[in-house]
């Protein structure tokens, strides 16, 4: 023992040392030998000690309640108090009770109906099944944070919102999906697929509604995979105000 001070698991060892000291005072010539037993098998005394320890651990720990002895040998006396327990054992029992109470409390306040995610909040399975880069561009366009002239101008990354493909004064999502001549062929295929799926022509659509409709997700993904919409940002010409456009392009590469 490193110390005589009580600690977790040392209470019985300290009591044993006190009894040994009392025996040596009463009988100075007594020889006391302490042996370490590696296991309980085959040692009668150690087997009995293990049996008593298991019974003591299963008894209720109510201080002040007299516990009857279960008749070990010919003894039938009454024990007034339970045997002391280590601090680690008490903490473990407290943790188990607190965990059971917490689960019971949480179970009464939650249900599958309460925790069910609304259908509108669930990610689109078609978009989630595409490549990471393509899904990222789709979500950026959907939330209005894609690399369009309008967004980069608002973010002070470009001096104007002009389209760098057709020189239209404002490069918006609707411009790129509907009228930009650079992607005329891709737009034609896109709106033909949308018409096939929804029976609505592009004049009845805004890009906001298009990206929010799950039926059009695959058509939009095909359009983005064949066009550079929301992906490439050319560098500014000389004489323009400095910006972070080159950084956007480097990130994409």
Mean per-residue pLDDT over the chain, rounded:
79
The pLDDT tens digits for 112-135 are 666 676 776 777 889 989 999 999
Length of the chain: 253
Q: What is the pLDDT of residue 112?
A: 63
Q: Does the pLDDT of residue 219 top 50, yes or no?
A: yes
Asked if residue 51 lies in contact with residue 42, where contact means CB atoms within 8 angstroms, the answer is no
Read off the pLDDT of each residue in 174-199 and give the average, rounded to a whole number.
94
pLDDT tens digits for 66-96?
Answer: 455 544 444 445 555 556 778 888 899 999 9
Q: What is the mean pLDDT of residues 186-206?
A: 93
Residue 232, pLDDT score = 79
Question: Which pLDDT tens digit goes with each residue over 15-64?
Answer: 888 888 899 999 988 888 877 766 656 667 777 777 777 766 565 454 34
CA–CA separation, 229 vs 247, rounded Å? Answer: 17
Mean pLDDT lowest among 11-15, 150-154, 189-193, 230-234: 11-15
**pLDDT higher than threshold 60 for residue 137:** yes
Highest-pLDDT range among 9-13, 38-42, 140-144: 140-144
Is residue 177 within 8 A of residue 187, CB to CB? The reply is: yes
Looking at residue 154, its pLDDT comes to: 93
pLDDT at 66: 47
From residue 216, how far is each of 73, 180, 201, 224 by CA, in Å? 84, 20, 12, 12
Q: Do the Cβ atoms of 26 and 17 come closer than 8 Å?
A: no
Picking from 137, 150, 230, 144, the residue whose alpha carbon sits closest to that of residue 183 is 230
Please state which of the ranges 2-6, 142-146, 235-239 shows the lowest mean pLDDT.
2-6
DSSP the chain: ---SS--TT-HHHHHHHHHHHHHHHH-TT--------S-STT-HHHHHHHHHHHHHHHS---TT--EE----TT---EESSPPP--HHHHHHHHHHHHHHHHHHHHHTT--HHHHPPPGGGSPPHHHHTS-HHHHHHHHHHHHT-SS-HHHHHHTTSSSS---TTT--S---HHIIIII-GGGHHHHHHHHHHHHHHHS--GGG--HHHHHH-GGGHHHHHHHHHHS-TTT--PPPPTTSPP-SHHHHHHHH-
Q: Which of 159, 175, 177, 168 is nearest to 224 (CA)?
A: 177
pLDDT of residue 181: 94
pLDDT reading at 136 higher than 70: yes
């Amino acid at each position: 023992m490193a110390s005589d001070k009580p600690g977790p698991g040392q209470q019985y060892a300290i009591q044993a040392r006190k009894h040994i000291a009392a025996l040596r005072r009463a009988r100075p010539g007594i020889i006391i030998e302490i042996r370490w037993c590696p296991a309980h098998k085959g040692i009668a005394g150690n087997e009995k000690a293990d049996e008593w320890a298991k019974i003591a651990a299963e008894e209720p720990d109510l201080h002040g309640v007299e516990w009857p002895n279960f008749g070990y040998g010919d003894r039938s006396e009454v024990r007034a108090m339970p045997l002391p327990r280590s601090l680690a054992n008490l903490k473990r029992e407290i943790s188990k009770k607190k965990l059971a109470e917490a689960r019971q409390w949480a179970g009464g306040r939650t249900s599958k109906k309460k925790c069910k995610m609304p259908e509108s909040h669930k990610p689109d399975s078609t978009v989630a099944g595409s490549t990471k880069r393509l899904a990222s561009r789709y979500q950026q366009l959907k939330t209005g944070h894609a690399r369009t002239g309008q967004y980069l101008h608002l973010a002070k990354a470009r001096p104007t919102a002009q389209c760098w493909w057709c020189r239209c004064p404002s490069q918006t999502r609707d411009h790129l999906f509907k009228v930009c001549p650079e992607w005329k062929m891709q737009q034609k295929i896109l709106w033909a697929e949308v018409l096939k799926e929804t029976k609505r022509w592009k004049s009845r659509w805004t890009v906001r509604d298009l990206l929010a409709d799950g039926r059009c997700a695959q058509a939009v993904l095909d359009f983005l995979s064949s066009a550079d919409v929301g992906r490439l940002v050319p560098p500014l010409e000389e004489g323009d105000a400095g910006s972070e456009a080159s950084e956007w392009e480097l990130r994409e590469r």
